Amino acid sequence: MPPPIRILLQTTIPPIEDDWHIGRFSMLRDHLAGLTDGDGAPLCAVTARDRTPPGTPDPVLSRIDTSDFDQLWLFAVDVGDGLHADDCAAIGRFRQRGGGLLATRDHMDLGSSLCTLGGVGEAHFFHSRNLDPDPARHIVDDRETGYILWPNYHSGANGDYQRIDPVDPPHALLGDPGAPDGLIRYLPAHPHEGAVGAPPQDPSARVIATGTSKVTGRQFNIAVAFEPMAEAGPAVAESTFHHFVDYNWDPAAGCPSFVSEPPGSGIAGSPEAQRAIRRYVRNLALWLAGRPVADRREQRDRARAEAPEESVPASDPRAIP
């Protein structure tokens, strides 16, 4: 039996109460901690923390390559100063030894410290750093919050869900045997998601899912997957950390005072969306650990469904009990 996957959930800010501190990701933490494998054993061992004050190396991030963590879920909620050079170097070595990385941010320049990360950092485009190479996308999409500039794709209200479109061929991260077409189709919505794209110089990276703006109808990238290679572990770049925040899963959990948009209630009224979101989280934990996304029971069910039906000659009918 494999040991639990050791996951670090980490923000890039100190524990500031009126901000997106790690306590606002408690539903994600509890869901991961509650997952079990095919034998009923805990699937994940989860540690959740904020960083120490910026300006000096974080004692955990700057040594993560020598830790026993299997993967890092990095929520860049800073305004550009969330990662020290020593943190970035250690995260790079962490991936070199096979560690899995989820790196996510939000609109405009929120979380732009990710630009100081090599590899996955190059998949994140901001307003004033690492600009999207396509100038046609340097336009305001969300028009409800005027002070937030591009990139700011409007996929819906916090608390609502958005329909996503898997990019062919569908990635294992988006597999869902419980869905009608076998694919995850829903994630939490957010009024102003950030921008991600596959770095053209990295053959391991590709866009795996897109969303559609509810304001302009414009299509935008939701997630970029980096396949594991000999020199780097698997990684995912996400357009917004709001796919994982308590407030987006359940607005009753509350939010910082600077959030001004009224929330929705779509997720609360949709068991299908709730299941898809939690399935995606499970898939991320497994895929970033290099484990099969489908468990043994699902693999058996799939094998039965794909097996050719046994043919019985007409002259040799089945015995009737």
Residue 308 lies in a domain: no
Q: What pLDDT is stored for residue 295 in this prediction? A: 64
Amino acid code (one letter) for 255? C
Strands 219-226 and 205-212, how do they pair? antiparallel
Region 243-262: mean pLDDT is 97
- Give the pLDDT of residue 304: 52
Question: What does the alpha-carbon distance between residue 71 and residue 103 come to, in Å, rounded to a whole number?
Answer: 11
CA proximity to 147, closest of 121, 110, 113: 110
Structure confidence at residue 296 (pLDDT): 52
Per DSSP bridges, beta strands 161-163 and 186-188 are antiparallel
- Choose among 44, 53, 41: nearest CA to 12: 53
Decide if 141 is inside a domain.
Answer: yes
pLDDT digits (tens, 9 = 90+) for 179-200: 999 999 999 999 999 999 999 9
**301, pLDDT greater than 70:** no
Strands (E), 25-181: 44-49, 71-75, 100-104, 124-125, 161-163, 165-166
Specify the pLDDT at position 143: 87
Q: What percent of the chain has pLDDT over 70?
A: 92
Q: What are phi and psi of 183, to 5 degrees?
A: -130, 145
Establish if 242 belongs to a structural domain: yes
pTM of the model: 0.92
Asked whether residue 321 is assigned to any structural domain, the reply reads: no
CATH number of residue 133's parent domain: 3.40.50.880
Burial of 267 (0-12, 13-18, 19+ CB in 10 A): buried
User: What integer is the mean pLDDT of 14-32?
Assistant: 98
Q: How many CA atoms lie within 13 A of 118 on its CB side?
A: 16
Q: Is the pLDDT of residue 319 over 90?
A: no
Question: What's the mean pLDDT when you consider all of the chain?
Answer: 92
Assigned domain for 313 exists = no
Number of domains in the chain: 1
Q: What is the mean pLDDT of residues 160-165?
A: 98
> Taking 70 as the threshold, does the pLDDT of residue 307 lie above it?
no
Mean pLDDT, residues 136-162: 94
Please check whether residue 317 lies inside any domain of the structure.
Answer: no
Can you give the residue range of the structural domain that contains 172? 5-296
**pLDDT at residue number 310:** 43
306 assigned to some structural domain? no
Per-residue confidence (pLDDT) for residue 313, from 0 to 100: 38
**What's the pLDDT at 291?**
96
Which tens digit of pLDDT belongs to each residue from 73-105? 999 999 999 999 999 999 999 999 999 999 999
Is residue 239 assigned to a domain?
A: yes
